[in-house]
Amino acid sequence: MSTAYLLTCAAIGVAGGLLLAPANWVSTVLFAAAPFASVAIAGLWILPAVVALRLLQRPLAGLLTGLISGLVIVPFSGYGFASVLTNLWWSLFPELAFLVVLWRFWRTWQHYAGAIAVGIVYPLAAGASFGLETMTLVARVGFFALTTASCVAATALGIVIADRLRRAGVAATVRPRGRRTPGG
């Protein structure tokens, strides 16, 4: 791993942590007041990983960025070091879309596949804490749809941010030569 790669992941991770620190508190308040509404911002937790993966197109960039953003949040979170595990969990899904092909190609649809996967898995994993089993079928479908829409929207934003950073020359010294640029 090059120094430029590590520093770029660190910069994205710190920026992500600065975004997620207040989002963590907003999510906690929303969960207490209106649990259904708290998933509207769930996609923010995958944003740093999406930016890193899209910009760097390197193995483990998403997880490393998630680790760093989790460490940034620790002193500002009421959850302490559990925030690191949370950020790693969310960062795993954008990474998985590339891991399954052993990072051999980097297509735009893979980013969205990761977003859809976490949009489905998160409600299943956290369903008990949200009382999903007590919701009507329509509410459950809405819950899954809202979570997935949030993750897809964050992915779209992450792609835009990464593409603009690339056009500004941020990844020029980090990406391996011969790699195809992201595309359909």
Tell me the torsion sign for CA atoms 170, 175, 180, 182.
negative
Q: Tens of pLDDT along the chain (184 residues)? A: 789 999 999 999 999 999 999 998 998 898 888 887 889 999 999 999 999 999 999 999 999 999 999 999 999 988 899 999 999 999 999 999 999 999 999 999 999 999 999 999 999 999 888 888 999 999 999 999 999 999 999 999 999 999 999 999 887 666 554 555 555 5
Distance CA 102, CA 64 (A): 17
Per-residue pLDDT at 184: 53
Distance CA 184, CA 71 (A): 33
**Phi, psi dihedral angles at 183 (to 5 degrees):** -170, 180
pTM: predicted TM-score of the whole model, two decimal places = 0.91
| Token duo for residue 24 | 């963590």
Instruction: Answer yes or no: are the C-beta atoms of 90 and 45 closer than 8 Å.
Output: yes
Distance CA 184, CA 180 (A): 11
Instruction: Answer yes or no: are the C-beta atoms of 151 and 117 closer than 8 Å.
Output: no
Per-residue pLDDT at 175: 58
Residue 37 DSSP SS3 = helix
Dihedral Cα 23, 29, 32, 33, nearest 10 deg: -110
